Structure 1
Amino acid sequence: MNIATYNVNGINSRLPVLLRWLELAEPDIVVLQELKAPQESFPEMAIRDAGYDAIWRGQSRWNGVALLSRVGEIHETRRGLPGDPNDLQSRYIEAAVNGVLIAGLYLPNGNPRPGPKFDFKLRWLDRLHKHLASLIELDAPVIVAGDFNVIPTDMDVYAPERWHDDALFAPEVRAAFQRLLEQGWTDAIRRLHPHDTIYTFWKYWRGSFERNAGLRIDHFLLNPVATARLVAAAVDRRPRGWEKTSDHAPVWIELGDLRQLQNRQIAG
């Protein structure tokens, strides 16, 4: 099973890019962020014509998350992160698809720092930690994917000294991400590529993509059951080089069949 996450940076304005990538990459399940569209403006028919069922949580001009599937019905389990009834921002959606629980998120940016937006980001991370504590030990694969707006380490950013004052790289934010790993979640990219320079986001200006001056802020976190099935993880850089594209690139993982993996280990 191939699962991808992609911050599309405006689903309607980038729809040709998204549809082109779906046809090229053929992911089984996709988590989308930053739809920047109200609920009624989601391009449902175009997505369905591409072969995908969809659920989404839109928001006018900002935020917005969605789940797409071409491998089974989407059974929504949660819309919105618990813990704050006053938080109406469209940043979290969760569903079971083909035996896998998928949580898609778009974590707050938090800039400027310090300030109320940064405080909101830290509270959001605390709420995420509490909610994921209820999912980590499920006897099924659980995958948390999306734009975390967190640069975990110096390795995950070009010229880290330039980001010390940014909310994506703040010590409190990095510590919160580390607490999720200590809770038992596995960073899929670093699990398989512990020492590689890998970025998922490049600014539009100063030839950042061409110079590979980027950040790794789009992540997959896997519970132990999902980690046991992880066979591949990578960034699909191709769409970032297309015209009128997002400033993010899709990130994907592949989960293998557990029995086949166990048989392969025995045979090996």
Structure 2
Amino acid sequence: MRVATWNINGLKARLDFVLEWLEERQPDVVGFQELKMADDQFPSDTFKNAGYFALSHGQKAWNGVAILTKGEAECVQTGLPDQDEFGARLITAQSKGIRFTTVYCPNGKNLEHDDYPRKLAWFDSLREHLDATGDPKADEIICGDFNICPSDLDTWDAQSHIGGIFHTAAERQRMESVVEWGFSDLFRELHPDETAFTWWDYRGGAFHRKHGLRIDFILGTASIKDRLQSVTVDRDWRKKRGELKPSDHAPVYADLA
């Protein structure tokens, strides 16, 4: 079974790119983030023709998350309680015996911006939501763009980013709290010491200079971790393909037994 996550940075601009990736990689369940599209614009029929059942929690021009599955899925949650001001950022579905959540966590902008404390509060709400609705002994996955680098291994220049957005102690504590609920970072389970990135700025040749951040994760409960075979940061799909411009994020996928 292949599960995946990808911040696609605008589905309208990236649809053909995404369809090519689905055809080549054939994930069984995938979470998309940053759709930048309202639900009434979401191309469910296009994905159906590609072999996927789709659920979306969208928003015009900003944010937005979706889950695609081979076979039908039941949507069990959209959004976090009392966090509507941050937009469409969470969707949970039950599919193939797994409770699968994808999130597009707030960016925070910078430490002086009002969005920074709201980002921390959003993560607190996420942890409370897990406590209230989840079961760490069940098959659960949460994946997406978390907009936090959990450790210095997850950033291209740890020294220059000390204390900066995505790298603060408070953000890392929130990320740790989510993981400690009962998840494992599946990439780190297999690559504990590897420096690897999932996002690169479009500017300054960051991708080719390997100036990136690892902020996109697949987290799984113990029963999911026990099935883990491999985890891949799909760097090839961060590259331009013909006239198709990629997202600034790479897909990440995990293969489970």
Counterpart code for 2:220: L
- Using the alignment, how far apart are the partners of 2:77 and 2:178 within structure 1? 20
Contact 1:99 1:140 in 2 (8 A): no
CA distance in 1, matches of 2:124, 2:45: 37
Q: Secondary structure at 2:148's aligned position in 1?
A: coil
CA-CA distance at 1:180 after TM superposition: 2.2
The C-alpha deviation readout for 1:76-115, integer Å capped at 9, x for no partner, is 1101112x16536100000100101101100000012123
Q: Separation in 1 of the partners of 2:74 and 2:137?
A: 17
1:30 aligns with 2:33: no
TM-score, structure 2 as length reference:
0.94
Matched, 1:244 2:242: no
The Cα shift of 1:200 comes to 0.5
Cα pair 1:111 1:166 within 8 Å, conserved: no
CA distance in 1, matches of 2:60, 2:69: 24
Letter in 2 for 1:171: A
Query: Paired residue for 1:232?
Result: 230
The equivalent of 1:111 in structure 2 is 109
In the alignment, structure 1 residue 255 sits paired with structure 2 residue 256: yes
SS of match in other structure, 1:12: helix
Structure 1 pair 12–187 and aligned structure 2 pair: CA distance change class (3 A): same
Q: Which blocks of at least 5 consecutive residues in structure 2 are unaligned?
A: none
Structure 1 unaligned runs (5+)? Answer: 257-268
Tell me which residue corresponds to 1:159.
157
CA deviations over 1:156-194 (Å, ceiling 9, x no partner): 000122323532111100111122233321011001100
Say which SS state the counterpart of residue 199 (structure 2) adopts. Answer: coil
Q: Which amino acid aligns with 1:143?
A: I
Residues in 2 aligned to 1:128 and 1:247: alpha-carbon distance in whole angstroms: 25
**Alpha-carbon separation, structure 1, partners of 2:221 and 2:85:** 26
Distance 2:86 2:147 in 1: 19
- Amino acid in the other structure paired with 1:148: F
**Partner residue, 1:266:** none
- The question of whether the paired residues in 2 share the 8 Å contact of 1:54 and 1:67 is answered with yes
| Distance change >3 Å, CA 153–CA 219, structure 1 → 2 | same
Corresponding residue SS for 2:85: coil
Give aligned pairs, total.
Answer: 254
Shift of residue 116 of structure 1? 1.3
Shift of 1:38: 1.2
Moved more, 101-110 or 128-137: 128-137
3-state SS, counterpart of residue 12 of structure 2: coil
CA drift of 1:135 comes to: 5.2
After TM superposition, where is structure 1 displaced by more than 4 Å over at least 4 residues in a row? none
Identity percentage of aligned residues: 39
User: What is the Cα deviation at residue 227 of structure 1?
Assistant: 1.4
Distance 2:234 2:126 in 1: 27
Distance in 1 between residues matched to 2:180 and 2:251, nearest whole Å: 26
CA RMSD of aligned residues (A): 1.5
Measure the CA separation in 2 of the matches of 1:7 and 1:15: 12
Query: For the structure 1 residues 192 and 4, does the alpha-carbon distance in structure 2 shift closer, same or farther, using more than 3 Å as the test?
Result: same
The answer to whether the 8 A contact 1:200-1:214 is kept is yes
Letter in structure 2 aligned against 1:227? K
Q: Find the residue that maps to 2:167 and give its secondary structure.
A: coil
Q: Whole-Å Cα distance in 2 between the matches of residues 96 and 136 of structure 1? A: 12
Q: Secondary structure at the match of 2:214?
A: coil
Q: Secondary structure of 1:133's match?
A: helix
